[in-house]
Amino acid sequence: MTNGINIELVNLTKRFGKNEVLKGINLIIPAGQFVAIVGKSGCGKSTLLRIIANLEQKTDGESLKDGIQQEDFSGVRVMFQEDRLLPWLSVLENVGVGTKLIKNWQPLALKALDQVGLKDRANEWPHVLSGGQKQRVALARALSAKPRLLLLDEPLGALDALTRLEMQNLIEELWLNQKYTSLLVTHDVAEAITLADRIILIEDGNLALDLPVKLPRPRTRSNPKFAELEEILLQHLLGQQNEKSTKPKELQAII
């Protein structure tokens, strides 16, 4: 049913010089799950994602995909906060980059572009598109090669509120269709609840909270459970400011 990659992090540690950014993260993400990682800026959530993507070297511990330590990027696609489209290639060829531009990439790229509703813009330059459209092209590029793991590093952070909602729907819809493993780093709690099966909260380089989200999809804010979850997460995020290390454990016990 799922062709996703399962991820296993064992005591994953990352230090930049003396600064310990990740302090021994243990986490198992089963194949096909949609996990959101939330946390305040600088908490190490993006670093965690970059280590899983092999864009960053870990200092210690293990980061396993399907039980092995992978060195390359096969099956893994990343979407960044910036669209990272190549301005000198057409929209279609940009999507084709996802399929490495090897033989017969056009039909695949066109199909991916169709999925994000931009088929008719295939031959234009990226600079004529709006910010949201560019991110949709970037999403098409990420999906054109049928990834088994999609890593999303705050891909909607720079978009306006309305476009964000549209993109969230699109991301959910495509994930439901293709069932890859999905890891979303975000600082937007509502976005995490809308999309994820499970929310991980990182705090000072530690895994502070692991919260399953069992709301029926598509999720709406009008659901009281939604508000409840949002409340828990927000309180936790804001509460950190006063009581740094005591609260996480209490909350973990409740959940």
Partner 1 sequence: MKKKWIHLLEPWIIPILIVVIWEVSNKTGILANTILPAPSDVVKAGYEQAVSGVLFEHLQISTTRALIGFLIGGSIAFVIGILNGIVPFAQRYLDTTIQMLRNIPNLALIPLVIIWFGVGEEGKIFLVAISVFFPIYVNTYHGIRNVDPRLIEMGKIYNLSKFKLFFKVIILGAMPSILVGIRYSLGIMWLTLIVAETVAASSGIGYMSMNAREYMQLDIVVLAIILYAILGKIADSIAKLLEKKLLKWNPVYQ
**Residues at the interface with partner 1 (CB under 8 A):** 53-55, 72-74, 76-78, 80, 82, 84, 86-89, 97-98, 100-102, 125-127, 141, 145
Count CB neighbours of 198 within 10 A: 17
Strand order in the sheet with 60-65: 19-29, 7-16, 60-65
Count CB neighbours of 62 within 10 A: 13
- Does an H or E element contain 26, and which? strand 19-29
Nearer Cβ to partner 1, position 16 or 73? Answer: 73
**Which residue reads 């960044």 in tokens?**
80
Nearer Cβ to partner 1, position 87 or 224? Answer: 87
Residues 183, 14, 181, CA angle at the centre, nearest 5°? Answer: 15
Nearer Cβ to partner 1, position 72 or 249? Answer: 72
Least CB distance from residue 50 to partner 1, whole Å? 10
**Which residue reads 């194949």 in tokens?**
31
Least CB distance from residue 68 to partner 1, whole Å? 18
Least CB distance from residue 201 to partner 1, whole Å? 26
Nearer Cβ to partner 1, position 105 or 175? Answer: 105
Least CB distance from residue 168 to partner 1, whole Å? 23
- Tokens read off for 253: 């016990």
